Copies of this chain bind each other. A is one copy, B any other.
Amino acid sequence: MQEQTPQDILIDAINAEDPDTINRALDALHPSEIADLLESLPKKDRTLIWEFIPHNDRGDVLSHAQDPVRAGLLEQMPPEEVADVTKSLDADDIADILNDLPESVVDDVLFSMDIQDRQRLASVLSYSEDSAGGLMNPDIISVRADVTLDVVSRYLRQKGQLPDQTVSLMVVDRENSYLGVLRLIDVLTKSPDATVGEFLDSGVKFPADDPAREVARVFEQRDIFSAAVVDVNNKLLGVITVDDVLDVIQEQAEQTMRNMDGLVDDDMFSPLLVSARYRALWLGINLMAAFLASYVVGRFEETIQQLVALAVLMPVVASMGGVAGSQALNITIRGLSTGQITKVNSGLLINKEVGVGILNGLTWALVVAVVAIFWFDNYALGAIIGLAMVINLIVAAYSGVVIPLFLKKIGIDPAIAGGVLLITVTDVVGFATFLGLATFYLKG
């Protein structure tokens, strides 16, 4: 028998109503693992297990849970409890959690906090969740450039502790303007008599309004662990650490994949009606595309009546166009999201993709033509389907590049709308060329 996962043990314990085992299973898990586990459970089990989670772990669990799961848990908590369990968290993590609450409840939660906590939260909450300001932690350790490393050392020892994720200290001037960073490594390895200014590293800073996506790109590119966040006057507001960026990167990747299927914010166990409604929209959009393709086929009813083999083979032309086009589409979406596609090289990309389309169009057109000829014992049919396939695969490759470029230009996320538009094009063009060529031949 397979080894039981912590989830399996927990579910068995829940079903057996065995609180001891539940407590023991939870004890063995990190808060982030508990969060993952809650995500894998249906809603009623989540609520049940929540009651067993030790009080001082609850804030951590909430901060690691994904939005829909977290929102579900928060729904049933009174504001004072939210304020209480989040007390020990960093301000950026608390802000994340508060962003999932209705505005009226947020005010109640803030009201239950002491003034100091409320103030440090206010600055984070004033920025969008998806901006540098929303990611930052406003609790900063900053030093002046003109003091010696020895003074810094004594200051740190006096503080007695630093936030867990500290790798460097912020260096500011008298007016709190950001000057750069001093790495902890330098405090430890350089001469105590040297000044902070001598080892001032320019570091990386982001205006608070910078989008989280841009922050993630720079962190990844520069291999940095932390960065400063400044306002329009270069005043230091907070610090972003790489652990927050990891979450952004992971979420972006998942978001892109979900967007492609219209699975907006879909929790694995969100209520049936919620899931069904999210997805129904996407099915509806696809239905319009499908009817458009049907309409095209409908224009050729007579031709199909004459040669039913056309109806048999037409899905092949459309399907191959769809696959070839989506290959080009995804290469392009990826290039756009990494910023590798520019005005200058988009032309080159179109050329390359159309080249691939021609090559693969010719290759598979030949195969399909031969199969069609033998299957229906009809040479003309083979020629027609082969020609239709070459045309459709070229159009597919071209559209696969041009559609996302166009969507991006008019400000629509290509990952959301690209797929359905592309399939519409490849279906319509596939059916129209294949049946059109056949009509032309049969009438000719």
Contact with B along A301-345 (1 / 0, CB 8 A): 100110011111111101110011011001100110011111111
A387 interface residue, CB < 8 Å from B? no
Q: Which residues of B contact A334 (CB under 8 A)?
A: 254, 257-258, 268
The reply to whether B323 and A286 contact each other, CB–CB distance below 8 Å, is: yes
Residues of A participating in the B interface, judged by any CB pair closer than 8 Å? 2, 5, 7-8, 11-12, 30, 32-33, 36, 39-42, 64, 153, 156-157, 159-162, 164-167, 184-185, 187-191, 219-225, 242-243, 245-247, 249-250, 252-254, 256-258, 260-263, 266, 268-269, 272-273, 275-276, 279-280, 282-284, 286-287, 289-291, 293-294, 297-298, 301, 304-305, 308-316, 318-320, 323-324, 326-327, 330-331, 334-335, 338-345, 348-349, 352, 355-356, 359-360, 363-364, 367-368, 371, 375, 423, 427, 431
B279, A360: Cβ atoms under 8 Å?
yes
Contact partner, A167, options B167, B290, B308, Cβ 8 Å = B167
**Cβ–Cβ contact B249 & A341, under 8 A:** no
Which residues of B are found within 8 Å of A367, using beta-carbon distances?
284, 287
Check A156/B188 contact, CB under 8 A, given A279-B327, A359-B272, A371-B291. Answer: yes
Name 26 interchain pairs, CB-CB below 8 A, sorted by A: A40-B341, A157-B189, A157-B190, A160-B189, A165-B225, A187-B188, A242-B242, A246-B249, A249-B253, A261-B327, A263-B330, A273-B359, A275-B356, A276-B355, A280-B360, A282-B327, A286-B323, A287-B368, A289-B319, A290-B315, A290-B316, A297-B315, A298-B312, A301-B309, A304-B304, A305-B305
Q: Are A360 and B42 in contact (CB under 8 A)?
A: no
Which residues of the other chain, B, contact A8 by a CB distance below 8 angstroms? 342-344
